[in-house]
């Protein structure tokens, strides 16, 4: 029997009524990432959220299986891509944003504070002119800004902590909360990357948990849980408030910050981070080819504990 955590799993979370989107979650097993299609059931217009460009970090080769699978689902369900969205510059997978923009013709977008993240990493890589999010994304969404997927309204929530510029997309009763929360049996995400801050992560999570109790929260990653060996990525606000092992009702803020920081201190860098961020801070583009026609990435040495 195949291991679900090593398989490409797809699940549909249907619209619950007027103003509510259809959501497809597509599990990417190499990184435990969840990619999403958020669609208006009336107009069939859709947004693609946090789709991965597959990266083999052992052989430094890229491939398109994940974005191909997502676009196949789009076609199978008669959808039209209206937006290509990312919640933040990912540390553990390479974003497919630029490729999807080219393949669909849809604009790509991310949060308005990503230029601040780019400044941090331009210094860490010693690449002062390398990153220009205003060039590489069509929209940089501000806190509270709104846009539409078909006839559905989408609101931007600034959700810093995991990164300083992470955003949540709130569409009806669906919130795409990226690397803030994990599933309730796992807890929350790390906050120790440059620009991250545990106290801000706590505050962002409290804002998310203040949404209506039936809001479907779609997380960015899953690696299984203590009592399950299959990926999961959807739970309601009420389910998190009742059962999330890190932030359920009654959790003390200072206790959470202490436990989160102690846990983060034991975690190594993700194995793709130093490659992924050089691409993601270019909107999913490789650095320009050099005079031999090939692309090269730069790796900082002794910059991280």
pLDDT band at residue 48, thresholds of 50, 70 and 90? very high
Q: Residues 236, 54, 167, 32: what is their CA dihedral angle, to the nearest 10 degrees? A: 30
Q: 221-244, pLDDT tens digit by residue?
A: 999 988 888 999 999 999 999 999
pLDDT band at residue 174, thresholds of 50, 70 and 90? very high
Helix (H), strand (E), coil (C) string for 150-201:
CCEEEEEEECCCCCCCCEEEEECCEEEEECCECCCCCCECCCCCCCCCHHHH
Would you state the structure tokens that stand for residue 5, as one six-digit string?
């955590």
Give the Cβ contact number of residue 210 at 10 Å. 10
For position 2, what pLDDT does the model report? 57
pLDDT band at residue 107, thresholds of 50, 70 and 90? very high
Would you state the structure tokens that stand for residue 181, as one six-digit string?
């929360």
Task: Give the pLDDT mean for 60-86.
Answer: 97
pLDDT at residue 3 tops 80: no
For position 304, what pLDDT does the model report? 86
pLDDT higher for 250 or 8?
250
Length of the chain: 305
For position 7, what pLDDT does the model report? 81
- Kindly report whether the global pTM for this prediction surpasses the value 0.85: yes
For position 1, what pLDDT does the model report? 45
pLDDT at residue 133 tops 80: yes
Q: Which domains does the chain have, with CATH numbers?
A: 8-275 (3.60.15.10)
Q: Say if CB 233 and CB 25 are below 8 A apart.
A: yes
Computed over every residue of the chain, the mean pLDDT equals 96
- Pairwise CA distance, residues 97 & 257, whole Å: 33
For position 184, what pLDDT does the model report? 98
pLDDT band at residue 6, thresholds of 50, 70 and 90? confident
pLDDT at residue 181 tops 90: yes
Q: Say if CB 189 and CB 220 are below 8 A apart.
A: yes
Could you give the percent of the chain with pLDDT greater than 70? Answer: 99
φ/ψ bin of 205: left (φ > 0), alpha (ψ from -120 to 50), beta (otherwise): alpha
Would you state the structure tokens that stand for residue 171, as one six-digit string?
């569409």
């Amino acid at each position: 029997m195949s291991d679900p955590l090593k398989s490409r799993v797809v699940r549909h979370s249907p619209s619950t009524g007027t103003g509510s989107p259809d959501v497809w979650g597509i599990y990417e097993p190499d990184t435990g990432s969840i990619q999403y299609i958020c669609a208006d059931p009336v107009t069939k217009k859709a947004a693609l959220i946090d789709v991965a460009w597959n990266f083999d970090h052992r052989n430094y080769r890229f491939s398109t299986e994940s974005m191909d699978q997502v676009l196949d689902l789009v076609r199978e369900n008669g959808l039209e891509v209206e937006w290509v969205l990312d919640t933040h510059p990912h540390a553990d997978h390479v974003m497919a944003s630029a490729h999807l923009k080219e393949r669909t013709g849809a604009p790509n977008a991310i949060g308005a504070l990503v230029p601040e993240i780019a400044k941090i990493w331009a210094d860490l890589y010693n690449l002062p002119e390398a990153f220009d999010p205003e060039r590489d994304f069509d929209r940089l969404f501000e806190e509270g800004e709104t846009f539409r997927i078909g006839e559905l309204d989408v609101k931007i929530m600034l959700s810093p902590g995991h990164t300083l510029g992470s955003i949540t997309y709130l569409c009806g009763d669906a919130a795409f909360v990226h690397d803030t929360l994990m599933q309730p049996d796992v807890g929350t995400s790390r906050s120790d990357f440059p620009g991250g801050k545990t106290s801000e992560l706590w505050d962002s999570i409290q804002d998310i948990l203040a949404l209506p109790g039936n809001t479907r929260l779609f997380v960015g990653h899953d690696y299984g849980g203590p009592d399950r060996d299959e990926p999961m990525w959807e739970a309601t606000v009420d389910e998190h408030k009742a059962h999330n092992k890190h932030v359920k009702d009654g959790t003390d803020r200072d206790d959470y910050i202490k436990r989160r920081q102690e846990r983060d201190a034991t975690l190594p860098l993700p194995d793709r981070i130093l490659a992924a961020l050089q691409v993601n801070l270019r909107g999913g583009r490789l650095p320009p080819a050099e005079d031999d026609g090939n692309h090269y990435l730069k790796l900082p040495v002794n910059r991280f504990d």
